[in-house]
């Protein structure tokens, strides 16, 4: 089985192998066989997560036993998230029985506490708690957990009955959420603000992969690809290439650099749809945009800079003042709103974009070092 898996939008890495899970189940079974010799306990399985552990456990249990099931749920999304209610009660009555509660995982202990209250109300003869996984760092309750398969740190885990939004229960190994240490910068600002120049310096300084959507389009135009021909019709007029085309291309560029420590996105996102697509893409790598760093430069300075650059850049869209002004207009009409998009997430950082290259790098670095 694979070492890394994706469930919905998140990646998980293998944490406990199938063999080690089996060892843990066996260990609990051996102890139960000793402790319940001559008794006929009821295994009370806590649904849904514990069903796999429970089914393996009872197959290894050598004495008579009965089965019962209980389902409890927390009131998620409310302030009483610690409060738990019964969705499905144990049948038939557990009164006077020796009960083995079977749990997949004990973390805060809220579920265990609820079940113990139920068992006391039912006047059981005795009860013990058996769990496959136990998180000592998260457990806050005074009740003894009698049988523990494995102790695990306080990570989010899936597999062997445990799920992430419904998926992962059928995995035979246990996986934990992959941590990300990536730095992903959105370098922002109007055309001519100096994004490309700064990206060249910053990518070396921070060991990041620089993706300039404008550069990728120009590469495609030069090589007369289908994408290039399509993009050219928009670029020559100073308009934006449609989102669907740009997003697909950006995704492919990111996937080409699977081992990157992080990215500098230059010229992307330029619309809200692109910003949302970027969030989804990075979430699939358990990461996100670390911050938007924006170079702020006056419009007239931009026009002069671009006309100057047009003398040597060979870019048709830099040579014509009308196209330049249209690019700046498109920036304010369609792209500038992204300032608000990232401001809402506390990720917008404006930097004065007028000065020498190294002065501006220093200003950007001061921001990046805090992200
Ligand atoms: P740039 O090199 O970033 O100034 O981009 C040059 C041109 O490429 C823009 O004027 C657009 O026509 C096109 N382009 C680059 N990035 C994007 C994007 N994220 N969305 C749509 N069009 C883009």
pLDDT score for 19:
97
Distances (CA, A) of 227 to 219, 222, 245: 10, 11, 8
Give the residue, 259 or 26, on which the prediction is more confident.
26
Residue 4 contacts residue 178 (beta carbons within 8 Å): yes
The set of protein residues with a Cβ atom below 6 angstroms from ligand 1 is 191, 213-214, 217, 234-235, 238-241, 246, 267-268, 270, 274, 327
For 157, counting Cβ atoms within 10 Å of its Cβ (0-12 exposed, 13-18 middle, 19+ buried), the class is buried
* Tokens, residue 120: 């006391």
Give the residue, 88 or 212, on which the prediction is more confident.
212
Local structure of residue 24 (DSSP, 8 states): H
pLDDT score for 72:
86
Query: Reduced to 3 states, what is the DSSP secondary structure of residue 194?
Result: coil
What are the phi and psi torsion angles at 272 (to 5°)? -65, -35
Average of pLDDT values for 175-192? 90
CA dihedral 319, 321, 323, 326 (to 10 degrees): 150
- Annotated active-site residue in 315, 325, 339, 347: 315
What are the phi and psi torsion angles at 23 (to 5°)? -60, -45
pLDDT score for 8:
81
Strand partners, 127: 99
pLDDT at 147 over 90: yes
Residue 162 CA, distance from chain mean position: 18
pLDDT at 76 over 70: no
Q: Whose CA is nearest to atom 2 of ligand 1?
A: 214
Give Rg (Cα) of the chain.
29
Q: What is the C-alpha separation between 224 and 120, in angstroms, rounded? A: 76
CA 212 / ligand 1 centre spacing (Å): 9
CA 327 / ligand 1 centre spacing (Å): 9
pLDDT at 92 over 90: no
Contacts of 42 (CB under 8 A, 6+ apart): 65, 66, 67, 68, 94, 97, 98, 99, 100
DSSP secondary structure string, 120-159?
A: HHTT-SEEEEEEEEE-TTT----S---EEEEE--S--EEB
Whether 315 is catalytic: yes
- Annotated active-site residue in 195, 203, 218, 305: 195
Q: What is the C-alpha separation between 194 and 93, in angstroms, rounded? A: 74
Kindly state the percentage of the chain with pLDDT values over 90: 85
Q: What is the pTM of this model?
A: 0.61
In this structure, whether the domain defined by 183-216+262-368 belongs to CATH 3.40.50.300 is answered with yes
pLDDT at 80 over 50: no
- CATH class of the domain defined by 4-177: alpha beta
Q: What is the C-alpha separation between 334 and 165, in angstroms, rounded? A: 35
Local structure of residue 312 (DSSP, 8 states): H
pLDDT at 107 over 70: yes
Residue limits of CATH 3.40.50.2020 in the chain: 4-177
Least Cα distance to 154 among 134, 181, 135 occurs for 135
* Tokens, residue 255: 């996937």
Q: Whose CA is nearest to atom 14 of ligand 1?
A: 214
Residue limits of CATH 3.40.50.300 in the chain: 183-216+262-368
Q: How many residues would you count in the chain?
A: 371
pLDDT score for 309:
92
Query: If residue 243 lies in a helix (H) or strand (E), which one and from where to where?
Result: helix 243-255
Give the strands of the sheet with 4-7, arranged side by side. Answer: 4-7, 10-16, 174-177, 157-158
| Least trusted range by pLDDT, from 27-41, 76-90, 124-138 | 76-90
Q: What is the C-alpha separation between 25 and 326, in angstroms, rounded? A: 67
The mean pLDDT value of the chain amounts to: 92
pLDDT score for 1:
60
CA dihedral 202, 207, 211, 214 (to 10 degrees): 30
Residue 133 contacts residue 112 (beta carbons within 8 Å): no
pLDDT score for 125:
98
pLDDT at 181 over 80: no
Q: pLDDT tens digits, residue range 286-334?
A: 889 999 999 999 999 999 999 999 999 888 899 999 999 999 999 999 8
- Annotated active-site residue in 270, 285, 305, 363: 270
Average of pLDDT values for 234-258? 94
For residue 75, name the pLDDT band (cuts at 50, 70, 90). low
């Amino acid at each position: 089985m694979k070492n890394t898996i994706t469930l919905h939008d998140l990646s998980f890495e293998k944490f406990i192998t199938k063999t080690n899970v089996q060892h843990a189940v066996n260990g609990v079974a051996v102890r139960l066989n000793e402790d319940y010799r001559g008794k006929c306990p009821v295994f009370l399985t806590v649904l849904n997560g514990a069903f796999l552990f429970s089914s393996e456990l009872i197959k290894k249990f050598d004495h008579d036993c009965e089965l019962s099931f209980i389902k409890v749920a927390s009131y998620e999304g409310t302030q009483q998230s610690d409060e738990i209610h019964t969705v499905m009660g144990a049948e038939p009555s557990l009164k006077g029985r020796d009960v083995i509660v079977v749990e997949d995982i004990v973390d805060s202990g809220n579920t265990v506490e609820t079940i113990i209250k139920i068992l006391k109300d039912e006047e059981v003869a005795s009860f013990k708690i058996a769990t496959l996984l136990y998180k000592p760092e998260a457990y806050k309750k005074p009740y003894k957990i009698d049988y523990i398969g494995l102790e695990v740190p306080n990570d989010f885990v899936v597999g062997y009955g445990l799920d992430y939004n419904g998926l992962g229960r059928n995995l035979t190994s246990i996986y934990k959420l992959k941590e990300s240490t990536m730095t992903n910068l959105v370098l922002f600002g109007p055309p001519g603000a100096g994004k490309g120049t700064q990206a060249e310096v910053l990518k070396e300084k921070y060991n990041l992969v620089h993706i300039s959507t404008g550069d990728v389009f120009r590469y495609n135009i030069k090589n007369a690809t289908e994408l290039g021909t399509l993009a050219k019709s928009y670029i020559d007029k100073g308009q934006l290439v449609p989102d669907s085309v740009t997003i697909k291309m950006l995704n492919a560029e990111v996937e080409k650099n699977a081992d990157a420590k992080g990215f500098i996105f230059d010229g992307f996102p330029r619309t809200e749809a692109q910003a949302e697509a970027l969030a989804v893409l990075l979430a699939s790598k358990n990461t996100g945009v670390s911050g938007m760093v924006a170079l702020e430069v006056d419009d007239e300075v931009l026009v002069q800079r671009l006309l100057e650059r047009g003398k040597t850049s060979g870019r048709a869209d830099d040579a014509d003042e009308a196209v330049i002004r249209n690019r700046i207009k498109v920036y304010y009409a369609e792209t500038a709103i992204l300032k608000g998009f990232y401001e809402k997430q506390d990720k917008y950082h404006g930097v004065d974009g007028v000065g020498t290259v190294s002065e501006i790098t220093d200003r950007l670095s001061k921001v990046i070092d805090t992200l």
